[in-house]
Structure 1
Amino acid sequence: MACSQSLGIAYTSSALDDSQRQFDIYYPTDTAVDARPLIVFVHGGAWRAEDKRDHASLARSILTATGCAVAVPNYRLTPSGNVDPNLRHPVHAEDLLAFLHFILAWRNPQYSFDPHKLVLIGHSCSAHMLSSIFLDSQTPSLTPSMVLLSAVKGIVLSEGIFDLDTLVARFPDYRRWFIDGAFGPAEHYPEFSTLRYSPWPNAPIKWLLIHSKGDMLVDVPQTVAMYNHLKTLYPEGIDHDIDTVESDHDDVLRQDAYIQMVKDFVVNFI
């Protein structure tokens, strides 16, 4: 499917010259295509790295597979050695929530998508960010509007970080590398465990969790624990796959099997 792109669109009034609060969108050039869900891919990078431009090829692949427009937002990152509390969690997720509220109201006839049908994809640390918004993390600044909760039909989480304490127990160097900078120095981080978060009422979102057996950066038990938690919250609409993909952490995104799983999930909402 032929596609085009628009790059560097600001989603806050202060972001005209702030690339960390802009997004790119990839969309079908065939204007005869019916309005389909908008897919939002949120990059990982340990809350401190990566950029929307790094995932242009992935966005095009998802568009080709699904026929849906794909938006890729940036968000503020935590710099190495951060001591500024204003650049710690929840600032990254706050930016993501601001983008999602922006996209609900954004209207441009150039882009054909249904803003009332959103499918969100979070990879690595952004799986934690999406979980902190679409489950109740008891963080007022991460409270989604009822309109947004209604618009989000599905969430895909791949190679996700969900519980910081078990992650640090498995990979002790991560505390110094990015956890202390992004969340502040602490002995333990129970309040940031998405395994403790409760569901929002009247938000029948479907979830798909993906994890590769070959991931050397985030271990499979992170996703297994989150899957088990979601199953206690929602009797239906939760699925996971920890067997299909065998690539390393970010290589998962370049696998045909990953694109196929996303396609099979999205087709439920077209």
Structure 2
Amino acid sequence: MSGGSGEGRESRDGLSPEARALCEVMTAGFPGPGDVAALRAAVAAGAERPGGRGPGRPGGRGLEPASVRDTEAGGVPVRVYDPAPGERGRVLVVYLHGGGWVMCGIDTHDALCRELAAASGAVVVSASYRLAPEHPWPAAADDALAVLLWARAGADRLGCDPGRVVVAGDSSGGNLAAVTALRAPELLAGQLLVYPPLDASMGSESVAVYGRGYFHTAAHMAWYWDRYGGDPAHPHVSPLRAPDLSGLPRTLIVLADCDLLRDEGLAYARRLGEAGVDCEVRLHPGVFHGFLGLPLPAAAAARAGAAAWIAATGGRDPA
């Protein structure tokens, strides 16, 4: 496990002053659990401004892919980011957005995917999977797998190496990425999991410590799990409960230290290592859940590190 880039001095509650200020801004007026429409509206509005709710807009660094287009992948709407059309043999990333399985989409995560594609040189396919509660489990997980199958089958057409396919996601998208890897490990060279929820029981110590006062609350997370549905013991709902993690691809897990989901990510990393999987953890101090797209030094470092990890991901022989 490696430590991430911190935010300078930390306040008494573990957050850096900069992160605490952003946390307060994001929390103010953010709806509590219970109203899907209000949550979706708040996230959509907040994503339009730096430091707002949702993944934010990294931007501002001149990192733009050469080509961005919308299409469908196995019946699922996707957005394809290509940093260098015409080049061959590149990494192909299937990206699954966060949002508690009930909100966000390819538009809220557009800036993040643009930056990942431009910085890594990989083609990024961002999936607009079906949302709960209108479409409970396993709809989102099935859509994620459908997009992976489409991307893998069309890797050559996209200028990518079918042996260098990575599934990635943040928060609930990280859950979907982990589930997709469990369902089709032979199709993947890597999985990138950013502060993923991995156990619907929510029984870890970090839930008790960081479940209130750090923007993403235990009450919200429990409500998201309820809306998503499925058997909490099923490994395609709670990957941490999978009986066997051997054979999974190279893994990078990015975590925030002040996050109720931190311990689930650490536990998954331990189990992956015990199963013989090449797994690296980057734990970023002084920040909270959702920091990846925020205007914080740790966020910039995490994005750059994720892009470098993607670019370096080697392949396995195509199945």
What's the TM-score bracket when you normalise by the shorter of the two chains?
A: 0.7 to 0.9
Which residue does the alignment assign to 1:162?
Answer: 198
Q: 1:193 Cα shift? A: 2.8
> Which string of whole-angstrom CA distances, capped at 9 and with x for unpartnered residues, describes residues 22-51 of structure 1?
1000102453x3321112221011010001
Higher helix proportion: 1
State yes or no: 1:238 paired with 2:301. no
What secondary structure is seen at the aligned counterpart in 1 of 2:196? coil
Which residue does the alignment assign to 1:98?
Answer: 146
Which among 69, 72, 81 is matched to residue 10 of structure 1? 72
Distance in 1 (alpha carbons) for counterparts of 2:261 and 2:65 = 37
Distance in 1 (alpha carbons) for counterparts of 2:139 and 2:223 = 18
> Which string of whole-angstrom CA distances, capped at 9 and with x for unpartnered residues, describes residues 78-126 of structure 1?
13xx6xxxx22222101100111111222685x4222331112121112
Per chain length, whose mean CA-contact separation is higher, i.e. which structure has more relative contact order (CA < 8 Å, sep 6+)? 2
Aligned residues of 1:28 and 1:69 also touching (Cα < 8 A): yes
Q: Which deviates the most, 164-173 or 152-161?
A: 164-173
Aligned residues of 1:23 and 1:71 also touching (Cα < 8 A): yes
**How many residues are treated as equivalent by the alignment?**
235
Counting aligned pairs with the same residue, the percent is 20
Which residue does the alignment assign to 1:205?
Answer: 249
Which among 87, 94, 111 is matched to residue 40 of structure 1? 94
Q: 1:120 to 1:176 in 2, by over 3 A?
A: closer
Which residue does the alignment assign to 1:140?
Answer: none
Distance in 1 (alpha carbons) for counterparts of 2:263 and 2:147 = 30
Aligned residues of 1:212 and 1:252 also touching (Cα < 8 A): no
Instruction: Calculate the TM-score normalised by the size of structure 1.
Output: 0.77
State yes or no: 1:190 paired with 2:233. yes
Q: 1:190 Cα shift? A: 3.0
Task: Give unpaired runs (5+ residues) of structure 2.
Answer: 1-63, 212-217, 315-319
Q: 1:268 to 1:198 in 2, by over 3 A?
A: farther
- Mapping for residues 212-227 of structure 1, pairs under 5 Å: 212-215=256-259, 218-227=260-269
What secondary structure is seen at the aligned counterpart in 1 of 2:91? strand
What secondary structure is seen at the aligned counterpart in 2 of 1:229? helix
* RMSD, aligned CA: 2.6
- Mapping for residues 247-262 of structure 1, pairs under 5 Å: 247-254=287-294, 255-262=299-306
Distance in 1 (alpha carbons) for counterparts of 2:241 and 2:233 = 8
- Mapping for residues 49-68 of structure 1, pairs under 5 Å: 49-68=103-122
Q: 1:183 Cα shift? A: 1.0
Which among 264, 267, 270 is matched to residue 308 of structure 2? 264
Which residue does the alignment assign to 2:77?
Answer: 22
Distance in 2 (alpha carbons) for counterparts of 1:238 and 1:107 = 25
- Mapping for residues 70-149 of structure 1, pairs under 5 Å: 70-79=124-133, 87-106=135-154, 109=157, 111-135=158-182, 143-144=183-184, 149=185
Distance in 2 (alpha carbons) for counterparts of 1:58 and 1:175 = 23
What secondary structure is seen at the aligned counterpart in 1 of 2:257? coil
